[in-house]
Structure 1
Amino acid sequence: MAISSPGVGSGLDVNSIVTQLVAIEKQPLQALQVKASSLQSQLSLYGTIKSQVSALKDAASTLASATSWASQAATSSNTAAATVSVDSTATATSFGLDITRLAQSQTTASRSIAAGASLGAGSGTGQLSIQLGSWGPAGAGPFVAGAGAAVNINVSETDTYTTIANAINAANAGVKATVLKIGNTERLSFQSTTSGSDAGFSIASNGGFAALDSLSFTSLGNGSESALGMESSQVGLNATLKINGVALESATNTVANMVPGVTLNLSQTTTPGSPVQINVAQDKVALQKNIQTFADAYSALSKTLADATKYVQGGRSGVLQGDSTTVGLQSLMRTIIGSSSTGSTYTRLSEVGLEQQTDGSLKLNTTKLATAMGDVSNLQKLFTTNNSNAATNGFGLKLRDLASGLLAADGTVSNKSTALQGAISRNGKEQDRVNDRAAVVEKRLRAQYSALDAQMAKMSGLSSFVTAQLAQWNKTS
């Protein structure tokens, strides 16, 4: 196999010559690569703009919605006794709350046995039958079984309190069992899983061995079937309360929708004559937060557009400086923010504290806003009024519709992003064409220089032959 090295025949640095000629052919790449970098920066920036327009849309949509202006906040004058929360259905109201009794679950406790000991000394088996029901509204008995069937738990004389507790808890009988350790002894405690007078329970022991009766509870008199039955620690009772003097009961200490949309969480009884005052009123803190979010979203987008289009003489201008689409968007936003609306006693955003700054951002003047919140109805109308006229609609609708249009499939932001992606794609194809042409040129040049090498090698060989012949002829002469 022949080994070739370009330039051997001619003595020329062929590789260097070809490399430099190909580099000249690839010179357009430099401008294309610079352009590609600029396009990528613009596309990335439009990704940021799209995200910020979306945030502005969300913030404006919140202010355009009557629902967001109807949000209520609740307060309690005594949070140690009761806390309060509201949902979207709550309306403004105020009432006094007296708590005379908290809801409680029924609890019972067994006799003590040695820690870790078995229930009995033999090998008998039996069942505990747990029945849910009520001991009456005052918890004084007699027991009335509920509609559900009793749950039977198999118990062996060799079972420990821990074994029995695990079996009861696994049965989901409406009762939870806990082993209490007191020194070297144990007691088994039962508690109904829910509170209220209708969430009580009775426990009957069914045959097998005498020690099983120690876990029975069929009457409030310490067990009617066995003198060793479980003790009543606490009866199940409803919470008793008064709202504006009206007596009410609740099976739990979470009292929901007795006042529509309002949930009361009871935690302690109140002093007679000193009710907890519950107030439900428009949530002005949430309203101010929504308005601040709107101002922040607008300002963030405004800053991005300003930075992108800025011109710095002798310095680094924005990547979209001079771009008509971006400059037009910036101008449109400022025009809308500075426009007026009809349908409210307020006509401009500056009147309620949203003041446009020289850099295009919005700054919230909380003093002005606090004054405007004295007339929430007209403040709301400034954002929510729909006149079926883009020029005079409320500002929530104006900015929401602007943002929606920009983000639509044929909107300004979407179209600009698509155009930039197309330009990047075309730039990439042009770079490929330049590289392809350079490859063809390189191949042709190497072929030409290879042919030149071959010819120069032949001529060099002929020259050497002629020189040798002349030398021989001179010797002969």
Structure 2
Amino acid sequence: MAISSIGLGSGLDVEDMVAKLVALEQKPIQALQIKATAINSQVSAFSQLKSQISNLQTQVDKLTASETWQGRVLSSANSSTVSGTATSKAAFATYDVKVQQLASAQTIGSGLVPTGTALGQGKLTITLGEWKDGALKPNEVDGLPASVSIDITAEDDTLAKVAAKINAANAGVSATVLRDHTGERLSLQSTATGTNAAFSVAVEETADQPGLKRLEYLGADSSAGMTRSQTAQDTLATINGIAMASRNTTFADVADGVTLTVSQKTEGDAAVRITIKGDTATAKTALTNLVESYNALSSAMSTMTSYDPTSKTAGTLQGDSTAINLQSALRRLLTSNSGAGGAFTTLSQIGLAFQTDGTLKIDDTKLTKALEDPDSMAKFFAADLEGDANDGLGVRLKDFTTGLLSSDGVFATKDESMKSQLKRNTQDQERLTTRVNAYEKRLLAQYTALDVKMSSLTALDTYINQQITMWNKDS
């Protein structure tokens, strides 16, 4: 009788015996799998730390910028009339601004042209310039040519087509056709404001197709077709009693680092007070962001490297020398003196003090007082002495974080090391798995042979017992 399953011939639970022996051989593989999980957790932890170091570097960058400490804020007593901006070049000052006139563009318009009326043929010559003593003194405006000629043919002799050709000519003048129930009118306006952006329109019409003269404009005293509804003029203002003019509504760099923009005229003799002071808000925000970034990093490192005796749980990076050294190096850097000069040498002097849990806390009163001395704050954080150990704290922090994040820095080296560990771990698991599989196959073969042999012996034993029984009956 054939054996249908291993163990039937011997009566042994061979499958269970083999499974338990194989499980013992798989113990090293399970240990490797646990180790791989731990390494992957460390990879994730270092990735988190790298991201937080990168964020810290972003905040440090702001502390090394001179604009953070030497910034200026411009305030206006009436920003709807006069507003502006100030850069670090601006001096602390006040300006009283009176606006007498706003810049405008020259605008002219034609008389009524009944819809469908042919204008005639010829040439329009638009010249940019400035009106002086009733005559136009030509000049270029914003890089445009001083004079542009436009041919008007039989195909172009409607107001709409003339306007389209003027707009396409890039002559410094925009054209619009205005319509109502009585007909059409052509409106021309210079594309720039200011007295130097005025224009004239000279017309040469053909003798057999007259009519274009109605679009001519040669000045205020001209009796030709178009009339002026708005004069090209500059913005006129007085700043601290001094007369100033601008082609538009902006007085760019009116003083070093100061730009003013006017929106409307001032009333009567009233002036708008402009005040320029130091910008402490930007610096305070930068320092607040630094503290928040460092505290997040510090808390993460403390959690990762700690051990909780109550729960007997170790942090992901508990005992990792790289993480511990990083934590110590950063703390040493932040507690060191900044010898770049100025009134401050430590963070605590400006109101940033370490707490017992390793985080930083801001003393707002102390910080506000320190920000009243922007030069010393700039030296403390942003002084760059070309490699000197007395560089500002921000400069040294920037160098420190840049080194950590470089292609050959701590994080890159650690990442490469952990990848190598994972690769070896995978190879070891594969090698052991192959060995265990071979062991299992060998055990199954051996127990199968044993089962067959024992089955044969059992059959022989049964046969002998039967023969003995028969012999006993015969006797």
> Shift in Å at residue 12 of structure 1?
8.9
Residue 246 in structure 1 maps to residue 239 in structure 2: no
Give per-residue Cα distances to partners, 1:20-52, cap 9 Å, x unaligned. 665554343332222222212211221221222
**2:300 alignment partner in structure 1:** 304
CA distance change for structure 1 residues 266 and 23 in 2, over 3 Å: closer, same or farther? Answer: same
Q: How many residues align?
A: 457
> Shift in Å at residue 235 of structure 1?
1.8
State the TM-score, normalizing by the size of structure 1. 0.81
Letter in 2 for 1:318: G
> Shift in Å at residue 301 of structure 1?
1.3
**1:107 alignment partner in structure 2:** 107
Give per-residue Cα distances to partners, 1:392-447, cap 9 Å, x unaligned. 65422342333233334444333333322222222222222223333444555566
**2:254 alignment partner in structure 1:** 258
Residue 288 in structure 1 maps to residue 284 in structure 2: yes
Residue 219 in structure 1 maps to residue 212 in structure 2: no
Distance 2:386 2:212 in 1: 79
SS at match of 1:255: strand
Letter in 2 for 1:279: T
**1:334 alignment partner in structure 2:** 331
SS at match of 2:195: coil
CA distance change for structure 1 residues 328 and 213 in 2, over 3 Å: closer, same or farther? Answer: same
**1:417 alignment partner in structure 2:** 415
**2:164 alignment partner in structure 1:** 166
**2:373 alignment partner in structure 1:** 375
Distance 1:44 1:397 in 2: 29
> Shift in Å at residue 220 of structure 1?
2.2
CA distance change for structure 1 residues 186 and 40 in 2, over 3 Å: closer, same or farther? Answer: farther
Letter in 1 for 2:135: P
- Contact 2:36/2:422 (CA < 8 Å) preserved in 1? yes
**2:39 alignment partner in structure 1:** 39
> Shift in Å at residue 118 of structure 1?
2.8
Distance 2:90 2:434 in 1: 71
- Contact 1:119/1:211 (CA < 8 Å) preserved in 2? no
CA distance change for structure 1 residues 314 and 394 in 2, over 3 Å: closer, same or farther? Answer: same
SS at match of 1:150: strand
Letter in 2 for 1:80: S
State the TM-score, normalizing by the size of structure 2. 0.81
Match of 1:141 among 109, 130, 134: 134
Unaligned runs of 5+ residues in structure 1 are none
Give per-residue Cα distances to partners, 1:152-174, cap 9 Å, x unaligned. 15354676544433333233221
> Shift in Å at residue 105 of structure 1?
0.9
**1:357 alignment partner in structure 2:** 355
Residue 50 in structure 1 maps to residue 50 in structure 2: yes
Unaligned runs of 5+ residues in structure 2 are none
Q: How does 1:55-134 map to 2 (within 5 A)?
A: 55-113=55-113, 117-120=115-118, 126-134=121-129
Distance 2:447 2:185 in 1: 104
- Contact 2:98/2:238 (CA < 8 Å) preserved in 1? yes
> Shift in Å at residue 84 of structure 1?
0.7
> Shift in Å at residue 373 of structure 1?
2.2
Letter in 1 for 2:185: R
Give per-residue Cα distances to partners, 1:239-288, cap 9 Å, x unaligned. 22233333232212122123222222121122454333333332111121
Q: Supply the RMSD in Å over aligned alpha carbons.
A: 3.8
- Contact 1:153/1:168 (CA < 8 Å) preserved in 2? no
Give per-residue Cα distances to partners, 1:195-235, cap 9 Å, x unaligned. 111112222333253443333323324652xxxx2221212
- Contact 1:126/1:205 (CA < 8 Å) preserved in 2? no
Letter in 2 for 1:283: D
